[in-house]
């Protein structure tokens, strides 16, 4: 009897060891987002919460960063596994242009297009800035140096026929631009973010703002030359005191991932993102704009195989 009992215990022990050995390992991923006053950071946090609560043994940490350009460089150096980026910057990184001339980021892949990021040109009421051409001779923030925002500013200025020599260019982050504007150190600024932007809302609570539209001809010229930009209208009432529609252009925010992240992990992330879209929309307003149809739009670099597998299952791509 003791012999059989001992044998049973051995079998049980071996089975337990085998079971533990087969247990799925924890997956720890860092997601590079953006500044704490922008859209990337809170939206990234909302996505991380979805991933962590819906995928077994998943731990995604949203990290505040300098946004697109820094995020792509972090991906290139494999210091993060996930990143929220502008679709124009991911194209530049993959092809080695702009800030990535000396260091292509070829190990970047796309999971999904998330939502449009709108180029917003804001000026003080008494600045005399009624068009982009009116920035000439003024003090104007074009975004942090080397950022995606600054690249977009140069694209807009190019079509407007201006260079940084034509005005007092200030290279400021969202938070720095907001503070400088409140202190009247600059006449206006250009932001690229989802709408409404929290920093602009904060400024508008105490200061009357002027939202600058781009002419139809300018919008056409911009989108013809920079094909990753699309025409966009900021609806009246998006911000306090904004009583009319504002014509501008937009890029798209995308969720990027390192090429060497396992296919199963990325498949699970993609699936969780779309199967819990309603919960994401409750956590952050930008989640309402996520859809599987638009997720595959505006993508100029390869999808990660894990994301591609999910989209093929759902018929989003052939």
Shared domain for 155 and 235, answered yes or no, is yes
**pLDDT for residue 112:** 97
Task: Say if residues 62 and 33 touch (Cβ distance below 8 Å).
Answer: yes
266 Cβ partners below 8 Å, 6+ apart?
109, 111, 257, 304, 305, 306, 307
Tens digit of each residue's pLDDT (9 = 90 or more) over 42-65: 999 999 999 999 999 999 999 999
Shared domain for 212 and 300, answered yes or no, is no
Is residue 11 assigned to a domain?
no
Tens digit of each residue's pLDDT (9 = 90 or more) over 164-213: 999 999 999 888 999 999 999 999 999 998 888 888 999 999 888 999 99
In this model, does residue 9 exceed pLDDT 80? no
**pLDDT for residue 24:** 61
Shared domain for 87 and 136, answered yes or no, is no
Shared domain for 124 and 109, answered yes or no, is no
Q: How many domains does the chain have?
A: 2
Task: Say if residues 99 and 309 touch (Cβ distance below 8 Å).
Answer: no
**pLDDT for residue 23:** 47
The residues that bridge with 193 in the sheet, in sequence order, are: 118
**pLDDT for residue 16:** 43
Is residue 3 assigned to a domain?
no
Shared domain for 245 and 286, answered yes or no, is no
Confidence grade of residue 73 (pLDDT, cut at 50, 70, 90): very high
Instruction: Tell me how crowded residue 67 is: count the other CB atoms within 10 A of its CB.
Output: 31
The average confidence (pLDDT) of the chain is 90
Shared domain for 229 and 300, answered yes or no, is no
Query: Cα(62)–Cα(71) distance, rounded to whole angstroms?
Result: 12
DSSP-assigned states of every residue in 90-150? HHHHHHT-GGGTT---TTEEEEEEEEEEEEEEEEETTS--SSGGGGTTSEEE--STTSHHH
Query: Cα(318)–Cα(314) distance, rounded to whole angstroms?
Result: 9
Query: Cα(88)–Cα(220) distance, rounded to whole angstroms?
Result: 17
Section 17-45 average pLDDT: 79
159: domain range?
117-251
Is residue 6 assigned to a domain?
no
Tens digit of each residue's pLDDT (9 = 90 or more) over 114-123: 998 899 999 9
196 preceded by a cis bond (ω within 30 of 0) = yes
CATH of the domain at 56: 3.40.190.10
DSSP-assigned states of every residue in 176-202? HHHHHHHTTS-SEEEEEESSS-HHHHH
Shared domain for 131 and 208, answered yes or no, is yes
Query: Cα(14)–Cα(108) distance, rounded to whole angstroms?
Result: 42
């Amino acid at each position: 009897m003791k012999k059989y009992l001992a044998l049973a215990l051995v079998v049980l022990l071996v089975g337990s060891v085998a079971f533990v050995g087969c247990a799925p390992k924890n997956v720890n991923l860092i997601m590079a987002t953006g500044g704490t006053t922008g859209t990337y950071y809170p939206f990234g946090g909302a996505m991380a919460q979805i991933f962590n609560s819906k995928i077994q043994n998943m731990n995604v940490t949203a990290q505040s960063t300098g946004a697109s350009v820094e995020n792509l460089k972090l991906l290139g150096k494999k210091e993060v596994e996930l990143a929220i980026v502008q679709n124009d910057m991911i194209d530049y990184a993959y092809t080695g242009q702009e800030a990535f001339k000396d260091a292509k980021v070829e190990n970047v892949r796309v999971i999904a297009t998330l939502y449009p990021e709108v180029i917003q040109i804001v000026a003080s009421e008494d600045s005399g800035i009624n068009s982009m051409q009116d920035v000439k001779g003024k003090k104007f923030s074009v975004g942090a140096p080397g950022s995606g925002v600054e690249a977009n500013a140069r694209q807009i200025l190019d079509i407007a026929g201006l260079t940084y020599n034509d005005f007092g260019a200030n290279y400021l982050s969202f938070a720095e631009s907001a503070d400088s504007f409140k202190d009247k150190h600059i006449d206006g600024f250009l932001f690229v973010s989802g709408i409404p932007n929290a920093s602009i809302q904060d400024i508008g609570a105490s200061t009357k703002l002027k939202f600058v539209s781009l002419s139809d001809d300018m919008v056409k010229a911009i989108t013809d030359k920079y094909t990753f930009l699309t025409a966009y209208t900021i609806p009246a009432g998006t911000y306090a005191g904004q009583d009319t529609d504002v014509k501008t252009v937009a890029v798209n925010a995308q969720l990027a991932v390192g090429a060497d992240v396992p296919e199963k992990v990325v498949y699970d992330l993609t699936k969780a993102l779309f199967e819990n879209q309603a919960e994401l929309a409750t956590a952050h307003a930008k989640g309402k704009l996520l859809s599987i149809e638009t997720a595959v739009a505006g993508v100029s670099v390869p999808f990660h195989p894990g994301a591609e597998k999910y989209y093929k299952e759902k018929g989003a791509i052939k």
